[in-house]
Amino acid sequence: MDENAELVDLFEAHRTRLRAVAYHTLGSPSEAEDAVQEAWLRLSRSDSSNIQNLGGWLTTVVARVCLDMLQSRREKPIGIHLPESAANDSGGIDPEQEALLADSIGPALLVILQTLLPAERLAFVLHDIFAVPFDDIAPIVGRSPTASRQLASRARRRVRGVAPVLGTELRRQRSIVDAFLTAARDGDFEALLKALDPDVVVRSNGAQVIRGAAAVAVRSSGFARSAQVTLPALIDGALGMVTAAQGRPITLTVFTITGAKIAAIDIIDNPGHVAEADLTILDQLAD
């Protein structure tokens, strides 16, 4: 009984860090907790006396569990912002710092990181956020240390491309899209009509569903307020927005602009098409 209590205490000393690793990798609090619980179950079934570095062992277990979870739901993309940290298995990380780390998660990078392959994402999380050496990451992702380094490097390049500088034409189009999104959030019918071409058409996964500015304005008014996160974005090079719920992109909206009006709105909610889209998140609109 005493030995079990001691093992529980040892595990609890690492729980906050393990949850942070899982949350940054999975982007879901409930799934992160599931991954941590699985690590505890595996520890309780193991001979802990043979584990020399418990923190490193638990981090590896959680990382492998997270990788399995990511690979099992590739059709449901996720992501999370990964800020810099000096955390490592030998020294640990202060709980207060970890709380600040969680608070610093940004929705833009949350969306963009979901475009990474599971192995890329995990290599990036472990190395760039938790300072896990590539020699330790390699067996987790099933690659050599050199290949693991390349995985993290590709992820890093993608993350650094989150906020591009728009050209003159795209900036002009961006202002039109911004006006539409603001009007939609505010339920401003007149402003919506002003942003829309009289013959604007809305298509859902390629099929026309609405035509005409008045009809589109009625359907659009207030819609963005129900979304957990709505972010302006370049979607396959065109201006649009990403709607996310629980940290996962669920809908892409692409705008076609003719002159100074929105002529077409394409809504994409097919999980496969969402996952395959080339997303570049722009800076978020001010509330």
- Where do the domains of the chain lie? 2-160, 168-281
Q: At residue 243, what is the residue type?
A: T
pTM, two decimals, is 0.54
Could you give the CA distance from residue 88 to residue 133 in angstroms, rounded to a whole number?
Answer: 9
Domain spanning 168-281, CATH architecture: Roll (3.10)
- Structure tokens given for 22: 């899982």
Mark residue 110 as left, alpha or beta (left: phi above 0; alpha: psi -120 to 50; beta: remaining). alpha
Nearest to 118 by CA among 137, 139, 135, 141: 141
pLDDT (tens digit, 9 = 90+) per residue, 64-106? 999 998 888 654 443 322 222 323 333 343 444 444 444 444 5
Domain topology for 2-160: Butyryl-CoA Dehydrogenase, subunit A; domain 3 (1.20.140)
Q: What is the mean pLDDT of each run of 10 residues along the chain (287 residues)?
A: 77 91 82 92 87 92 92 52 30 42 50 75 88 93 92 79 61 86 86 92 87 89 58 82 74 88 90 78 52
Would strands 261-268 and 196-204 be described as parallel, antiparallel, or unpaired? Answer: parallel
CB atoms within 10 A of CB 270: 14
